[in-house]
């Protein structure tokens, strides 16, 4: 049972345009969401996060939107740059699952290619 | 600033051989530590986490084990590797009380032949 789903394994976007990466979740107890960026043969790096008490968080070119009723979040990158080409992982956690609060549940990732 | 190290970076091992991957964190005390595996075509799967020396919790039953002999050292081991153990192994840490934000090491690429 995949609790965090990234249904698009890959996405190609022209440089300068907007990249939109989507993530859906099924566990209504999730209350904190993160996006990680990963280059090949490297560990993921934290990009941006959002708490369930918010519906939007912005950091420079990166904005994350959260729609709790739809159990959906998205990452917008504007404008997209070739250096943004990487795999993006969506992750979720819950503060209410006891020992499970240490666990981040990750999606399978979306490979973003920004074309110059 | 905090840094996290993993070694080796790559490893090729025969089936049935033992495994020891090491992770160390610098610049912080009493971190929470995690081992993840990323297998081909799959997301990141949490294998073990630790909130202190000698305290290990396993999330997924398997032939792997973890140990935390020191505050900032986390070791992933196996007595006999399986083909299915191939993957990219990532160590991560989070500050105590801030488990939501985890910071990852560079990873170890393990190939079991």
DSSP string of chain B, one letter each residue:
--EEEEE-SEEEE-TT--EEEEEEEES-SS-EEEEEEE-TT--EEEEEEEEETTEEEESS-SSEEEEEEETTEEEEEESS--GGG-EEEEEEEE-TT-TTS-EE---EEEEE-
Which one of B51, B100, B109 has the shortest CB-CB distance to A32?
B100
Q: The tokens 């904005």 sit on which residue?
A: A63
Q: Tell me which of B56, B100, B105, B109 to substitute to probe the interface with A (most A C-beta atoms closer than 10 Å).
A: B100
Across the A:B interface, residue pairs with CB atoms under 8 Å apart total 59
B106 touches chain A (CB under 8 A): yes
Beta bridge partners of B13: B112
Distances (CA, A) of B82 to B11, B17, B19: 14, 9, 10
Give the separation between CA B27 and CA A114, rounded to whole angstroms. Answer: 35
Tokens standing for B8? 């080796």
Average predicted confidence (pLDDT) for chain A: 91
| Helices marked H in A41-85 | none
Q: Tell me which of B30, B102, B105 to substitute to probe the interface with A (most A C-beta atoms closer than 10 Å).
A: B102
Give the separation between CA A82 and CA A80, rounded to whole angstroms. Answer: 7
pLDDT of residue A42: 86
pLDDT of residue B62: 79
Q: Tell me which of B5, B38, B43 to substitute to probe the interface with A (most A C-beta atoms closer than 10 Å).
A: B43
Average pLDDT value for residue range A68-89: 97
Query: Does the pLDDT of residue A80 top 80, yes or no?
Result: yes
Query: Does the pLDDT of residue A97 top 80, yes or no?
Result: no
For chain B, residues with pLDDT lower than 50 are none
Phi-psi region of B41 (alpha: psi -120 to 50; beta: other; left: phi over 0): left
Beta bridge partners of A20: A76
Which one of A91, A99, A108 has the shortest CB-CB distance to B57?
A99
pLDDT grade for A94, boundaries at 50, 70 and 90? confident
Q: The tokens 């032949």 sit on which residue?
A: B113
Q: What percent of chain A has pLDDT over 90?
A: 77
Tokens standing for B26? 């610098």
Higher local confidence (pLDDT), A94 or A95: A94
Query: Does the pLDDT of residue A103 top 80, yes or no?
Result: no
pLDDT of residue A100: 46
Which chain B residue is nearest to residue A110, measuring alpha carbons? Answer: B43
Tell me the shortest Cα–Cα distance from A25 to chain B, in angstroms. Answer: 14
Query: Which SS3 state, helix, strand or coil, does residue A82 take?
Result: helix
SS percent in chain A: helix, strand, coil, step 5: 5, 50, 40
pLDDT of residue A95: 67
pLDDT of residue B1: 81
Q: The tokens 């160590």 sit on which residue?
A: B91
pLDDT tens, position by position, A26-61: 999 898 999 999 998 888 998 999 999 999 999 999
């Amino acid at each position: 049972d995949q609790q965090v789903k990234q249904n698009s394994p890959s996405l190609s976007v022209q440089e300068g345009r907007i990249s939109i990466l989507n993530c859906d979740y099924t566990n209504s107890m999730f209350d904190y969401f993160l996006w990680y960026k990963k280059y090949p043969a490297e560990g993921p790096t934290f990009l941006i996060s959002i708490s369930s008490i918010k519906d939007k968080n912005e950091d420079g070119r990166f904005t994350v939107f959260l729609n709790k009723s739809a159990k959906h979040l998205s990452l917008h990158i504007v404008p997209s740059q070739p250096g943004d080409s990487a795999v993006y992982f969506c992750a979720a956690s819950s503060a209410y699952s006891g020992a499970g609060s240490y666990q981040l549940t990750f999606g399978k990732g979306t490979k973003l290619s920004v074309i110059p | 600033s905090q840094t996290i190290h993993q070694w080796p970076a790559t490893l090729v091992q025969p089936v049935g051989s033992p495994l020891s991957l090491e992770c160390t964190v610098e610049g912080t005390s009493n971190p929470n530590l995690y081992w993840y595996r990323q297998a081909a075509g799959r997301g990141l799967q949490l294998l073990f986490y630790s909130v202190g020396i000698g305290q290990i919790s396993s999330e997924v039953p398997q032939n792997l084990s973890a140990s935390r002999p020191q505050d900032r050292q986390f070791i992933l081991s196996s007595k006999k590797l399986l083909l299915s153990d191939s993957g990219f192994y990532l160590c991560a840490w989070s500050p105590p009380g801030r488990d939501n934000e985890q910071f990852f090491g560079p990873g170890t690429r393990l190939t079991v032949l």
